[in-house]
Amino acid sequence: MKKIFLSITAVFLFSTAFVTAQSLDKVLDKYFEVLGQETMLAAKSSQSTGKMIQMGIEIPFKIFSSYPNKFRLEATFQEMTLIQAFNGEEGWSVNPFAGITEPQDMSEDELKSAKVQSDYEGMLWNWKDKGYKVSLEDNEEVEGADCFVIKAVSEEEDVYTYYFDAESYVPIKMNSKVKMQGQVMESDTYMSNYQEGDGFVFAGKIETKMNGQVVSTIVIDEVTLGVDIDPTIFDKPVK
């Protein structure tokens, strides 16, 4: 009898795990379908334009992304241009607003953020190969919308929790708990104003909050896929 009970328990646990895995796969598959992931991956590059809004000041920007993990941000204001770039191995920046006019190597924490930001596929695509532990949590409500909740934990134990609108399958919030300078920094990022590109969609507004206060707002006006990008723009300039 004991052996039978153990067998039944094992089957139940296996079945529960299978259902959870299937549910996770279903949510992710639907999300990638709505996002237009296959279209974006086939393009292998993108250019985004828009503006950052901080303290009422609008700063135009361009973002260049290239598969698999190259990224460059250019933000220009009053004839000064901030640059942040990652070439897949090294990250660097120029910040004339802080008096830094020569390219500087990113700090360890900045480099960690750059690696996440530069992932052209996004962390949830092929997440097992990238070392994440991903799970489907209980549904939660975000600003009146029922949401699927997916948690991704990195090898460094940073935690990213996504909230997908249960009707549209697009993410409307992401909570991040990331270790920086020996402390866990928590922030909430809200995505809204989704727009359609040619075979894909993107969030037109991205707002980040810390301790309930807005720290940055990004408005994306246009995203163009399959652009011809000079690969050297991601490399740190050599004197």
CA angle at residue 194 from 188 to 198, to 5 degrees?
135
Residue 108 to residues 92, 174, 178, 179, Cα–Cα distance (Å): 11, 23, 13, 11
Across the range 143-172, mean pLDDT stands at 96
CB atoms within 10 A of CB 183: 8
Please check whether residue 70 is in contact with residue 118, taking contact to mean a CB–CB distance below 8 angstroms: yes
Give the global pTM.
0.88
DSSP-derived letter for residue 232 is G
Residue 11 pLDDT > 80: no
The contacts of residue 176 (CB under 8 Å, 6+ apart) are 158, 159, 160, 161, 185, 186, 187, 188, 189
Tell me the pLDDT of the chain averaged across its residues: 91
The contacts of residue 20 (CB under 8 Å, 6+ apart) are 135, 136
16 falls in which pLDDT band (50, 70, 90)? Answer: very low
The tokens 């050599």 sit on which residue?
A: 238
pLDDT above 90 covers a percentage of the chain that reads 86
Number of H helices, E strands in the chain: 3, 13
Across the range 38-50, mean pLDDT stands at 98
**105-116: burial string, b at 16+ Cβ within 10 Å, e else:** ebeeebebbbbb
List the one residue out of 126, 163, 116, 117 whose CA is nearest residue 144: 163
Identify the bridge partners of residue 133 per DSSP, sorted by sequence position. Answer: 153
The tokens 């990113």 sit on which residue?
A: 106
pLDDT above 70 covers a percentage of the chain that reads 91
Cα separation of 58 and 74, whole Å? Answer: 14
24 falls in which pLDDT band (50, 70, 90)? Answer: very high
Please check whether residue 236 is in contact with residue 70, taking contact to mean a CB–CB distance below 8 angstroms: no
Cα separation of 228 and 49, whole Å? Answer: 15
What are the tens digits of pLDDT across the range 185-235?
A: 999 999 999 999 999 999 999 999 999 999 999 999 999 999 999 999 999
Residue 75 pLDDT > 80: yes
pLDDT score of 8: 41
List the one residue out of 62, 41, 37 whose CA is nearest residue 52: 62
Omega before residue 68 within 30° of 0, cis:
yes
